[in-house]
Amino acid sequence: MLDQENAKITSEVIGIKEKKKNKSSIFVNYTNQRLLFQRTFSFLVLIPFCYTIIFIFKFIMGYKIENIKSIRNQFKSILKNKKPLVICANHLTFIDSCLIIWALAPNYWYQFNYKYFSWNLPAGDFFGKKWYYRVIAFLAKCIFIHRDASASHHNEILNICKNLLLKGEIITIFPEGKRSRTGRFEETQMTYGVGKIIQNIPNCRVLCIYVRGDKQETYSNYPLKNSSFYISMNLVTPKTELSGREGCSEIVHQIASVIKTQENDYFFERKAGVIERHENIGNNQIETKNN
């Protein structure tokens, strides 16, 4: 009853216009029983499923996470505070959420701390159409949200996210709503879903993550082989005195500002590294000539 009232209140406050449903999409009824079954089943297959994925990442695709030990230590430190936690990240490939989960903790740790294996919200209007994507989504703690669906559907999914967060689970959201078509974090394309969730959860924290492969120029389905992934993390607690859509907007823009700064830092560091390498090469060439 309380969940229904919250969903109704959220719907009235947000005032999103209804959209026609895409009949080719498959809508899942995420009841509490269904979510519990999905969580339990995915937990039981965690080791074989996730180790297979990591094996593919490391030994077939040649992927590597930079500074993975420091990232995992930082994540464990963040979890010492038990306040609700949402992960917000930039979005360039289909597997960004998988890379984040891999980077934050080893598989055996998730086996004993499964609530910190993040839920994800892939686009049901795209991934829900193919059976093998639906199977992977089921095993990987995914909840489909249909971008082309009605406001009531969006509010239902956001209310599910709120309830999961209040139970100590983690949710990963890509606030751009889709993969960036420019290859850069697009502040102007932000959706308001995470703002709506945070408005309904006092002191909800947001772990802003910027993830990018060293070979990634623009968006793609998957990163190129032998990519090395840069990941930076900043923890924030968005605050606003505004309500409704204006409050959502302010929260989302606070998050966007952090991720954009992370991206700027990434390109500054990479540019500085290239300049430094060129200087070192030049100095070595001069020393060789002098010798």
Helices in the chain by DSSP H: which ranges? 2-14, 32-44, 46-55, 68-78, 96-104, 107-112, 124-127, 131-139, 151-166, 193-199, 244-290
Domain membership flag for residue 71: yes
Domain count for the chain, please give it: 1
Is the Cβ–Cβ distance between 257 and 223 less than 8 Å? no
Note if the pTM is more than 0.95: no
Quote the DSSP letter at residue 140.
Answer: T
Percent of the chain having pLDDT more than 70? Answer: 85
Domain membership flag for residue 213: yes
The domain spanning residue 124 has which CATH number? 3.40.1130
Find where tokens 């701390």 sit. 113
Q: Using one digit for the tens of pLDDT, what is the confidence trace for 53-98? A: 999 999 999 999 999 999 999 999 999 999 999 999 999 999 999 9
Domain membership flag for residue 205: yes
Mean pLDDT, the chain, whole residue set: 86
Quote the DSSP letter at residue 206.
Answer: E
Furthest CA-CA distance within the chain: 82
Phi/psi at 18 (nearest 5 deg)? Answer: -70, 145
Provide the b/e sequence for 128-153 (b: ≥16 CB within 10 Å).
beeeebbebbbbbbbbbbbbebeeeb
**pLDDT of amino acid 288:** 47
Domain membership flag for residue 22: no
Domain membership flag for residue 177: yes
What are the CA-CA distances from residue 224 to residues 59, 66, 104 (Å)? 13, 16, 21
Domain of 123? Answer: 2-15+28-290
Under the banding of pLDDT at 50, 70 and 90, the label for residue 24 is low
